[in-house]
Copies of this chain bind each other. A is one copy, B any other.
Amino acid sequence: MNRHFDIELKKLKEKVFRMGLLVEKAIENATSALLHRDSVKAQEVLKGDQEINLYEIEIDELGHELIALHQPAAVDLRLITMVLKITNDLERMGDQAVNIAEKALVINQEPPLKPYQDLPEMAAAVRQMVRDALDAFMTADPDKAKAILERDDFIDRINDKIYDEIQKILEQKSQHIRTGVSLIMVAHNFERVADLATNIAEDVIYVKKGIDVRHHIRERRTGDNFQEQV
């Protein structure tokens, strides 16, 4: 592949990285909004989402230009379409951060519902997955990407635990239904972010290894039988 294409591709990846940093920040702010009852941070997330959305459109345009201009061979083409998918996953993470921030604004108006000690642990683990997914993408490191896939089960388990925990609390204190259900939804939003980080990791592995692990992993997650696919 020619040098000019390589330079353009590098620029494209750097833009994805900058978009990724904004998404990380949004998740961090949404987490603070929730855990420290900080509604100012929640507002920051809502305001910042437009910039993330614009990044997606910009990267989408650039990726298409790059294909149209350079007419890349199969492998490079696959690389660019993967970048477009990853950008879409990042944008959806941004939407999840918005959802969490919106829930935080509701939850922060109600008296705190204690204890929900698993949520901070879940939030920290999910943020680390996002950071590592972005890192695996930038360094094209399939080992780092694989390590992310392994953490997805932990997130699913902690999500179930939070669900059960809050359900038990609500059976005792039904006046807290609104807060409790909002917290269950927030845990679900974090779990979705972890799924999206997993999507990115799967794409990194796919491009690097040229095999489709995506549905294999998905099947394993949902407990169905895996059928060999290439």
> Which residues of A line the B interface, CB within 8 A?
46-47, 49-50, 53-54, 56-57, 64, 67-68, 71, 73-74, 77-78, 81, 84-85, 88, 92, 95-96, 98-99, 102-103, 105-106, 163, 167, 170-172, 174-175, 177-178, 181, 184-185, 188-189, 192, 212, 214-215, 218-219, 222, 224-230
Contact = CB atoms under 8 A, between A and B. Distances in A.
* Majority-rule SS of A interface residues: helix
Copies of this chain assembled into the complex: 2
A229 B105 contact: no
Contacts of A105: 226
Nearest to A68: B74
A178 B57 CA distance: 41
Contact of A96 (B54, B78, B175, B230): B230
A126 to B, nearest CB: 16
A116 to B, nearest CB: 15
A167 B171 contact: no
